[in-house]
A = this chain, B = another copy of it.
């Protein structure tokens, strides 16, 4: 794969994290599952290793150990655990690239957009971690089941981040796995992708769709 060789998936014991871990393993990445509960992380890692016998052995660690051991740190936790997760890894992610997939859903009203005061969960994360961490936000709009199953979803990925080179690493990583990913501007623009998730959940429910997503459309200009 073109991207980072070792990836920590914090929240990798959950649906989205497990789905993205499988996406990475299909590309032969070295994956480290991170969880607040290291024992659960190890159990999830063993399951993934047996599912992908040809990929490097999956490890399971505490949040901080997983983040410390990886080149790229991916955050796939529920919003209620976002702050505590970032607090747990703050010191070890300085200077690293961090992919934040957190969507600020606030149960029970998950169909209503309720953006944090900072504008988005990712921007809130940047404020928590400081400017030394290179945050890119993506993966808000893809159903976990699509990522897990390995069937390419009919859904594009909006990739936001303040540094173009950092966004490009994530765009390349996603496209290497067959997803269509778009540079979607600065990290502040993660508000759009995060907010869209509540709408997609509502559309799933109202229209009886499984894993609604978005595609970017339009005609390339000639000349």
Contact = CB atoms under 8 A, between A and B. Distances in A.
Nearest to A123: B113
Interface string A184-212: 11101101110110111011101111111
A212 B220 CA distance: 9
A31 B216 CA distance: 32
Contacts of A198: 185, 189, 192
A218 interface: yes
A125 interface: no
- Give this chain's copy count: 2
Interface residues of A, number: 44
Contacts of A158: 199
Contact of A185 (B112, B183, B184, B192): B112
A192 B199 CA distance: 8
Interface of A: 111-115, 119, 154-155, 158, 160, 182-186, 188-189, 191-193, 195-196, 198-200, 202-204, 206-221
27 contacts: A111-B185, A112-B185, A112-B186, A113-B185, A113-B188, A113-B191, A115-B119, A155-B217, A158-B199, A182-B207, A184-B202, A185-B202, A189-B198, A191-B191, A191-B195, A192-B192, A192-B196, A192-B199, A196-B196, A203-B218, A209-B219, A211-B219, A212-B217, A213-B216, A213-B217, A213-B218, A214-B215
Given A185-B202, A215-B215, 6 more contacts: A111-B185, A113-B191, A158-B199, A189-B202, A192-B196, A192-B198
